[in-house]
């Protein structure tokens, strides 16, 4: 039986997902649908909301009244919005059902906040936007990955009128809010990551300087050191279909380089198609969990969803405070191995584990799932995979009986879904 059909069966033979008709592409399980109405980024005491507000306040300090805040958009978007409008190639891996949750053949759960970029640009309701949203991806299971996470995107537009550009550049040089206690290493552009030929050197300078100085200032503000040593940052070349040139910004934190955001000059084709041929602009995107886990010292991404008072009570609006761990209960390990088709995708197994755990009312008891062995039989060419599942509760010690019951449910579903032989 196909995975998508089993998912629909598990969802009580639903014919609609949030009022959208389902079809052969539907692969959104009920465990994911239950998350679409939570909105952690809008809960005042959530570390994600606290971080969001700090970022908003920074950009308002830089340019008061410029950035429109957007944080209540529907998570269901069209394939056109999520991929086509952003110039993402038809064969890109992100379009596959192993990576993306399809509501049906025409709609997905957004995989990034950029899914709203074209509609916001077409609305012409502002020249700056800060978009915050929950995003959804079929992904691995460990302390830093969860099928639902949160992103924040910034967009800033400028008039292409020569006189307007000159005025904007002078204003930028006089008024930009910076951080003097940082050292920044630049990078040379090369290959296919050069400036767009349709932009003049004056336009390139304005957009690049404006983008980089605002982001350097933002992360200097968020990661400011308590000692006198300057904060180290470096710009790295990157590739995104919707910006050119593109960069990633990294910050040295506790002796390691941390990627904090991706950004670049918006592809002029995107602006032209949205009715903004007279504009140029930049965009950036960052993952709130990635940064919040570092700033708040949160060791496991599942904790953001916890309702345990020992976690929830530790955070107050407008304040970054370090998470104080409560008792960590012991983990329980179980392995499952089976023969499978060489085309078998690990993400399908990860999602199946989540679905079974959800049915048992124990989704967040699965702490991690890792592939620990792969073997191809030299004669039959069949592939064997062995996954190790680690179970752990934040709130109590798990009994062997309940873990065994859940693990047997996972083994049974493996055979039901893919008709494989458990080893």
Residue 326: the pLDDT is 85
Residues 252 and 331 in one domain: no
Residue range of the domain that includes 176: 30-303
**Residue in 91, 44, 42, 147 with CA at minimum distance from that of residue 357:** 147
Q: Is residue 17 part of a domain?
A: no
Collect the ranges in the chain with pLDDT lower than 70: 1-15, 177-179
Name residue, tokens 């959800």. Answer: 358
Query: What is the maximum span of the chain, computed from C-alpha positions, in angstroms?
Result: 73
Q: With contact defined as beta carbons under 8 Å apart, do 320 and 50 qualify?
A: yes
Q: Give the model confidence (pLDDT) of 255-266 as tens digits.
A: 999 999 999 999
Residue among 145, 154, 86 at smallest CA distance from 115? 86
Identify which of 158, 178, 154 has the alpha carbon closest to the alpha carbon of residue 166. Answer: 158
| Residue of 130, 59, 51, 70 whose CA lies nearest to 291 | 51
CATH number at residue 366: 3.30.70.380
β-pairing, 182-185 vs 383-391, is unpaired
Task: Work out the number of other CB atoms within 10 angstroms of the CB of residue 183.
Answer: 11
- In the chain, how many domains are there? 2
Report if residue 341 sits inside a domain. yes
Query: In angstroms, rounded to a whole number, what is the distance separating the alpha carbons of residues 401 and 241?
Result: 49
What pLDDT, in 10s, does the model give residues 237-289?
999 999 999 999 999 999 999 999 999 999 999 999 999 999 999 999 999 99
d(CA 115, CA 240): 14
Residue 44 burial (10 A CB sphere; 0-12, 13-18, 19+): exposed
Residues 272 and 334 in one domain: no
Tell me which residue of 380, 349, 287 sits closest to 41, measured CA to CA: 287
Please check whether residue 23 lies inside any domain of the structure: no
In a shared domain, residues 255 and 297: yes
Q: Are residues 179 and 263 in the same domain?
A: yes
Burial class (CB in 10 A: 0-12, 13-18, 19+), 228: exposed
Co-location of 335 and 298 in the same domain: no
CA distance 129 to 132: 10
Of the candidates 420, 407, 295, the one whose C-alpha atom is nearest the C-alpha of residue 360 is 407
- Looking up residue 225, the CATH number of its domain turns out to be 3.30.930.10
Structure tokens at 410: 């996972």
d(CA 246, CA 20): 35
355 shares its domain with 266: no
SS3 content of the chain, % helix, strand, coil (to 5): 35, 30, 40
Cβ(275)–Cβ(124) under 8 Å?
yes
Q: How many CA atoms lie within 13 A of 266 on its CB side?
A: 29
Residue 85: both structure tokens together: 């409008």
Residues in the chain: 423
Residue 61, domain member (yes or no): yes
pTM: 0.91
Half-sphere exposure of 179 (CA within 13 A, CB side): 25
């Amino acid at each position: 039986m196909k995975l998508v059909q089993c998912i629909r069966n598990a969802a009580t033979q639903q014919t609609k997902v949030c009022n959208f008709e389902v079809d052969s592409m539907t692969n959104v399980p009920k465990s994911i649908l239950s998350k679409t109405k939570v909105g952690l980024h809008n809960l005042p005491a959530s570390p994600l909301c606290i971080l969001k507000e700090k970022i908003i306040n920074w950009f308002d300090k830089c340019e008061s009244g410029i950035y429109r805040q957007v944080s209540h958009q529907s998570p269901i978007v069209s394939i056109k919005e999520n991929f086509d409008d952003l110039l993402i190639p038809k064969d890109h891996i992100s379009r596959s059902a192993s990576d993306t949750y399809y509501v049906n053949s025409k709609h997905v759960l957004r995989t990034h906040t950029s899914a709203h970029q074209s509609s916001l640009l077409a609305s012409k309701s502002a020249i700056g936007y800060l978009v915050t949203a929950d995003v959804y991806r079929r992904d691995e299971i460990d302390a830093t990955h969860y099928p639902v996470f949160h992103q924040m995107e910034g967009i800033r537009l400028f008039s292409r009128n020569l006189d307007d550009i000159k005025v904007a550049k002078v204003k930028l040089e006089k008024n930009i809010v910076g951080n003097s206690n940082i050292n920044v290493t630049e990078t040379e552009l090369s290959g296919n990551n050069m400036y767009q030929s349709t932009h003049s050197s004056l336009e390139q300078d304005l957009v690049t300087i404006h983008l980089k100085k605002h982001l350097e200032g933002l992360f200097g503000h968020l990661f400011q050191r308590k000692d006198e040593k300057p904060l180290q940052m470096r710009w790295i070349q990157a590739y995104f279909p919707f910006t050119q040139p593109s960069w990633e910004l990294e910050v040295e934190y506790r002796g390691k380089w941390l990627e904090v955001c991706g950004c670049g000059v918006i592809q002029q084709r995107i602006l032209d198609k949205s009715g903004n041929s007279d504009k140029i602009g930049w965009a950036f995107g960052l993952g709130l969990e990635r940064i919040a886990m570092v700033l708040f010292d949160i060791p496991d991404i599942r904790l953001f969803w916890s309702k345990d008072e020992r976690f929830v009570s530790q955070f107050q609006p407008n304040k970054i405070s370090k998470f104080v761990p409560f008792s960590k209960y012991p983990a329980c390990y179980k392995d499952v191995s089976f023969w499978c088709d060489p085309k078998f995708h690990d993400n399908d197994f990860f999602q199946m584990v989540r679905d079974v755990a959800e049915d048992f009312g124990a989704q967040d008891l699965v702490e991690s799932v890792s592939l620990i062995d792969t073997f191809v039989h030299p004669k039959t060419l069949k592939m064997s995979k062995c996954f190790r599942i680690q179970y752990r509760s934040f709130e109590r010690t798990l009994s062997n009986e309940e873990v065994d019951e859940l693990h047997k449910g996972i083994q049974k579903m493996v055979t039901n879904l893919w008709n494989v032989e458990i080893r």
